[in-house]
Amino acid sequence: MKILFIADPMETFKTYKDTTYAMMREMTKRCWTLHHTRADQLMVKNGSVMAEITPFIFIGAINDDDHHWFQTEETIIANLNTFDAVIMRSDPPFNMQYLYATHLLSLAQAQGANVFNSGKAMREFNEKLSILRFPQWTPSTIVSTKSSQIRQFLSEHNDIIVKPLDGMGGMGIFRLRENDPNVGSILETLMDMDKRTIMAQKYLPEVVHGDKRILIIGGEVIPFALARIPQNGETRGNLAAGGKGVAIALSERDRAIAEDIAPKLMQEGILLAGLDVIGDYLTEINVTSPTCFQEISQQTGYDVSAHFADALVKAVSGRLTH
């Protein structure tokens, strides 16, 4: 297969944990040809969605600090629909440039490109707001631009989490308690004086046992989750915020949540998603560039990258229904 990755610069990858790197490694084993471009290299020329594309050979990193794990060839300009699959793996934040990229990917799809996840899905499935489609699985939640409403929510629950709608890796997430003297300044900063919409959720003390990342690939639930456990007094379990990742088998509740949501994700054109579950509750649905492939595989022996590659083949051949 001929694969195009839309991703951040490859020399910036942390190869020991990067999921896109793990995907590329598996595809190399299968003798697929790999190509790379960035979201800012997408273009429309004569009505066709194209990009500045760099073919490359996956060599593999010899240690965690090796940034020369690939060998590039001459950059070309090509239509996205000339590839068997286009895999969008650019990291958030989901800003206007990201939004524009999703529109170009939707146009490319209309021109025959196989794009995963689809531009429409990434555009309409906000990673924070999408949980509101599944209220039966979510904790008490409010979304508002008014700090007064967030304060009222805090007075009702005494202990809450507040977060922006466009962040990643735990950025901008705060835990607020009713007697916290910094509530006002935190809300002013986070909400930009009532000009920015945020989400607040009841604090779930089960986070001390891990913020679980559950992967859904091709409509199938991966049987292991990565519990990202907060360290050193942190509220956030995100690996980017210093959380410790421990692979665990799914609980009955985890599986019930994931199996209910999985077919709905496929209907939305989402090949890969990462659910975030704390205790018994769904807190986020990640669709832009879900991670944790390597950690789960290394700790359990379950080959997540192989599962993804198999699902990609089925999706390209039309054997997965969207």
Tens digit of each residue's pLDDT, the chain (322 residues): 999 999 999 999 999 999 999 999 999 999 999 999 999 999 999 999 999 999 999 999 999 999 999 999 999 999 999 999 999 999 887 889 999 999 999 999 999 999 999 999 999 999 899 999 999 999 999 999 999 999 999 999 999 999 999 877 778 899 999 989 999 999 999 999 999 999 999 999 999 999 999 999 999 999 999 999 988 767 766 666 678 999 999 999 999 999 999 999 999 989 999 999 999 999 999 999 999 999 999 999 999 999 999 999 999 998 554 4
How high is the pLDDT of residue 264? 95
What is the amino acid identity at position 256? A
Adjacency order of strands within the sheet including 211-217:
244-249, 220-229, 211-217, 272-278, 281-286
Is 45 marked active-site? no
CATH of the domain at 38: 3.40.50.20
Annotated catalytic residue within 18, 268, 276, 295: 276
How high is the pLDDT of residue 228? 94
> Is residue 131 a contact partner of residue 138, using CB atoms and an 8 Å limit?
yes
Is 30 marked active-site? no
> Is residue 102 a contact partner of residue 119, using CB atoms and an 8 Å limit?
yes
Whether residue 132 lies inside any domain: the answer is no
What is the amino acid identity at position 199? M
How high is the pLDDT of residue 146? 97
- 38 and 14 housed in the same domain: yes
Annotated catalytic residue within 114, 117, 238, 286: 286
- 236: containing domain: 206-316
Annotated catalytic residue within 26, 211, 268, 284: 284
How high is the pLDDT of residue 321? 47
- 219 and 147 housed in the same domain: no
- 77 and 147 housed in the same domain: no
CATH of the domain at 266: 3.30.470.20
Whether residue 135 lies inside any domain: the answer is no
Residue 15 class from Cβ within 10 Å (0-12 exposed, 13-18 middle, 19+ buried)? buried
Give the gyration radius of the chain's Cα atoms. 20
Is 25 marked active-site? no
How high is the pLDDT of residue 319? 59
Is 180 marked active-site? no
Whether residue 134 lies inside any domain: the answer is no
- 195 and 148 housed in the same domain: yes
Annotated catalytic residue within 25, 38, 89, 163: 163
Annotated catalytic residue within 18, 26, 236, 268: 236
Classified as helix, coil or strand, 134 is coil
Quote the pTM value: 0.92
Is 314 marked active-site? no
Sign of CA dihedral 243, 117, 322, 313: negative
How high is the pLDDT of residue 172? 86
How high is the pLDDT of residue 237? 60
- 224 and 298 housed in the same domain: yes
**Tokens at 321, concatenated:** 């229904």
Whether residue 151 lies inside any domain: the answer is yes
Whether residue 97 lies inside any domain: the answer is yes
Could you tell me what percentage of the chain is helix, strand and coil, using 3-state DSSP and rounding each to the nearest 5?
Answer: 35, 30, 35
Is 276 marked active-site? yes
Look at residues 61, 83, 118 and tell me which one is the last residue of a structural domain: 118
Whether residue 49 lies inside any domain: the answer is yes
How high is the pLDDT of residue 166? 84
Q: How many CB atoms lie within 10 A of CB 185?
A: 10
Residue 200: closest CA among 127, 143, 126: 143
State the Cα–Cα distance between residues 174 and 200, nearest whole angstrom.
Answer: 10
How high is the pLDDT of residue 241? 61
Is 133 marked active-site? no
- 221 and 174 housed in the same domain: no
How high is the pLDDT of residue 240? 67
pLDDT tens-digit map of 108-165: 999 999 999 999 999 999 989 999 999 999 999 999 999 999 999 999 999 999 999 9
Whether residue 94 lies inside any domain: the answer is yes
Annotated catalytic residue within 25, 213, 238, 268: 213
- 210 and 310 housed in the same domain: yes
315: DSSP letter: H
Is 120 marked active-site? no
**Tokens at 260, concatenated:** 């209910």
Whether residue 74 lies inside any domain: the answer is yes
**Tokens at 235, concatenated:** 């509220």
- 80 and 178 housed in the same domain: no
Annotated catalytic residue within 38, 89, 128, 202: 128
Annotated catalytic residue within 38, 228, 254, 268: 228
When divided into structural domains, the chain yields a total of 3
State the Cα–Cα distance between residues 224 and 310, nearest whole angstrom.
Answer: 18
